[in-house]
Amino acid sequence: MPTLYFNLEDWSLILKINLILSLIFSCIALFFVSLVLYLRIRKNIKESHRKHLEARFIDFVNAFLFDETINKSKALGDFKYSYIKSSYDHKILIKQILIFDENLKGESSLLIKEIFYGLGLYKFLLEDLQGYRWYYKARAMFAFSKLGIEVPENYVYPLLQSKRVELRQHAILYFLNTSKTDPLVFLDNLEGRLTLWQQVLIENSLKSFEVEIPDFARWLDHHEDSIVVFCIKMILSFNQFQNIPLLVDCLDHDAEEVRYQAIQSLQTMEVSEALQLMLTHFPEETAQNKRSILYAIKKMGTYKDLQTLVPHIHKEDENLQVDFYKISRCFEDQIPVKSLLNIETLSKDWEDFQEYSMQQSIGA
């Protein structure tokens, strides 16, 4: 019977390389299989721990809420020292607290906050706020604002200037949820741009929360244009008619977007007194604002107001001239062009209209 005997020295180089590569790849494969198995087992252990802790916590909270016979401070201490061992445990409990708070109100809601403080979750989240990871801070802000729990202002104000939009958003939400008297106080300290999404968020919050609506004139001279734009929208949205003179002043603002919003709001509020100022500004305005002024004339002006723009309209681009024409038609049926939007007669119509406008401008 032949004996199995391998003498590596007898092997050719290519076989030796093959052997070494096979061993390396086997080791790599084994490592990855072990890693996947390890991660899977770890995940299962964590998951089972989570379920166990959640079940214990739900029982504990229900006993705390509804069982008058238990010693509450002792129960809190016992639970804290028996079950809360790691930051993962804290996270599980915070999530459960938020679910409880979302579903219960009245006295139970107050007791849930007592549990939140008693188990050290407030302290845990405050440490997260002091940390450097933005997602920990965002999570802490989210929890505080959901629960309506106030934290020292020096923790929150820096977040309003954060580079991360998520953090700024959560800081805004925090102020809206926790402040009962001045929910927009954060606007005083906001340095960066207020995005459209944030504007929608604030408006919806103001409409759904039971808070007193502030006077938006307070921020009309804010250095950040997006905040001024937002305030102009809110003056309209909440019918703060007492601020109309200040909106008229905004027609002289340096920022185009502010002037645009002022024109839009004044038009919707039908402040015809502002029309004269709009007409005066027309030659210096941007194309978008000129268009807005045209539509403001349509809504609250006269054909005579529109005619004052004839000397300027010829210098404008064709789109604006078309708008001018369309609005003219709303006032004056005699304009010789009937169907400028009809593609078959467009060129002829356009020439007719330009000729008509020219004659108007020279007073023919």
Give contact residues for another protein (rule: CB under 8 A).
58-59, 61-63, 65-67, 96, 99-109
Judged by beta carbon, residue 102 or residue 332, the one nearer another protein is: 102
Minimum CB separation of residue 111 from another protein in Å reads 10
Judged by beta carbon, residue 19 or residue 99, the one nearer another protein is: 99
Nearest to 170 by CA among 159, 154, 182: 159
List of long-range contacts for 85-93, beta carbons under 8 Å, 24+ apart:
87/124, 88/46, 88/49, 89/53, 90/120, 90/121, 90/124, 92/50, 92/53, 92/54, 92/57, 93/53, 93/57, 93/119, 93/121
CA atoms of 176 and 209, how far apart (whole Å): 8
Judged by beta carbon, residue 108 or residue 288, the one nearer another protein is: 108
Judged by beta carbon, residue 67 or residue 273, the one nearer another protein is: 67
Nearest to 256 by CA among 284, 235, 275: 284
Judged by beta carbon, residue 106 or residue 336, the one nearer another protein is: 106
Cα distances (angstroms) measured from residue 274 to each of 215, 221, 236, 271, 325: 21, 19, 15, 6, 23
Q: Are 263 and 251 in contact (CB under 8 A)?
A: yes
Minimum CB separation of residue 68 from another protein in Å reads 9
Q: Are 338 and 351 in contact (CB under 8 A)?
A: no
Q: Are 288 and 316 in contact (CB under 8 A)?
A: no
Judged by beta carbon, residue 143 or residue 275, the one nearer another protein is: 143
CA atoms of 265 and 62, how far apart (whole Å): 52
Q: How many CB atoms lie within 10 A of CB 183?
A: 21
CA atoms of 227 and 353, how far apart (whole Å): 42
Judged by beta carbon, residue 101 or residue 349, the one nearer another protein is: 101
Minimum CB separation of residue 177 from another protein in Å reads 15
Judged by beta carbon, residue 65 or residue 274, the one nearer another protein is: 65
Minimum CB separation of residue 80 from another protein in Å reads 20
Judged by beta carbon, residue 61 or residue 313, the one nearer another protein is: 61
Minimum CB separation of residue 101 from another protein in Å reads 8
Cα distances (angstroms) measured from residue 341 to each of 176, 323, 325, 326, 347: 48, 11, 11, 9, 10
Minimum CB separation of residue 52 from another protein in Å reads 14
Minimum CB separation of residue 83 from another protein in Å reads 17
Minimum CB separation of residue 69 from another protein in Å reads 10
Minimum CB separation of residue 47 from another protein in Å reads 15
Q: What is the DSSP string of 51-89?
A: HHHHHHHHHHHHHHHH-TTS-HHHHHHHHHHHH--SHHH
The DSSP 8-state label assigned to residue 90 in this structure reads H
